Amino acid sequence: MTLPEKAKKVLDVLEKEYPDARIALNFKTPLELLIATILSAQCTDERINKTTPALFKRYKKAEGFAEADLKELEGYISSINFFRNKAKNIRACCKKIVDEFEGKIPDTLEGLVTLPGVGRKTANIILGSAFGKDAIAVDTHVKRVSNRIGLAASDNPDKIEQGLCKIIPRKRWVKVTILLILHGRNICIAKKPKCEICPVKRYCAYFRNIVNVKR
């Protein structure tokens, strides 16, 4: 079985397993998803979704975040890990959006990664889920699951992204990100993955190695 064939079979199974798959962060605009994604680093989506309603009610546009009093902004996100650094990044990010992008979130990878606090992973999440563009975002779940299954063989997120883009059709790039994240959170967890109940174990290199070891 070739890697593209394997990827197709895995995605077909996961789409049936998670028929309502969608990004877990709540947002209405590209700006809201950008802010929520910056906040989500080393924090649960559940916590972010509890925090952002009041935040987005107070600051509705990039100009608002750019001009925000730092202490006030920190107060809105104080329940989130590393809130002080994230507040600085959000304000600096939005200031650049106002100064260099006329207050609009850039809709290109090249533009997004110039923003403070925005790396390639965050940029690809914005492109895929806010702008509907074909993009694969590699977070810790995508990295772990793709390596375990055997769709990737690298610790480098950029190389994993490049590899997945080669074996997965463009029209499925956004969906594969969400599916692998969901699978990583529910079944293919970091410690003691639930291999016995995994719907894609027949295609998984990690599971095959476990079986061989037990033999």
Per-residue pLDDT reduced to its tens digit, 34-54: 999 999 988 899 999 999 999
Whether residue 70 contacts residue 87, with contact meaning beta carbons closer than 8 Å, is answered with: yes
Domain parsing of the chain, residue ranges: 3-21+136-214, 30-130
Task: Give the model's confidence band at 215: pLDDT under 50 very low, under 70 low, under 90 confident, else very high.
Answer: very low
Token duo for residue 165: 């883009």
211 pLDDT above the threshold of 90: no
Cβ atoms within 10 A of the Cβ of 19, count? 7
Catalytic residues: 121, 139
The token pair at 40 is: 């989500």
Widest CA span of the chain, in angstroms? 63
* pLDDT, tens digit (0-9, with 9 covering 90-100), for 56-76: 999 999 999 999 999 999 999
What's the rounded Cα separation, in Å, for the pair 3 and 20?
26
Distance from first CA to last CA of the chain, Å, rounded? Answer: 24
pLDDT in tens, 84-125: 999 999 999 999 999 999 999 999 999 999 999 899 999 999
pLDDT score, position 213: 54
Positive or negative torsion for Cα 118, 84, 23, 160? positive
Q: Measured between alpha carbons, how far is 200 from 181 in angstroms, rounded to an integer?
A: 14
Classify domain 3-21+136-214 by CATH architecture: Orthogonal Bundle (1.10)
Residues with Cβ within 8 Å of 129's Cβ and at least 6 positions away in sequence, in order, are 23, 27, 33, 174
Rounded CA-CA distance 162/160 in Å is 5
**What confidence tier does 209 reach under pLDDT thresholds 50, 70, 90?**
confident
Q: Which CATH number fits domain 30-130: 1.10.340.30, 2.40.30.20, 3.40.50.300, 3.40.30.10?
A: 1.10.340.30
d(CA 25, CA 40): 9
Average pLDDT (162-183) is 96
**Cα–Cα dist 192/208, whole Å:** 15
Q: What is the DSSP letter of 130?
A: I
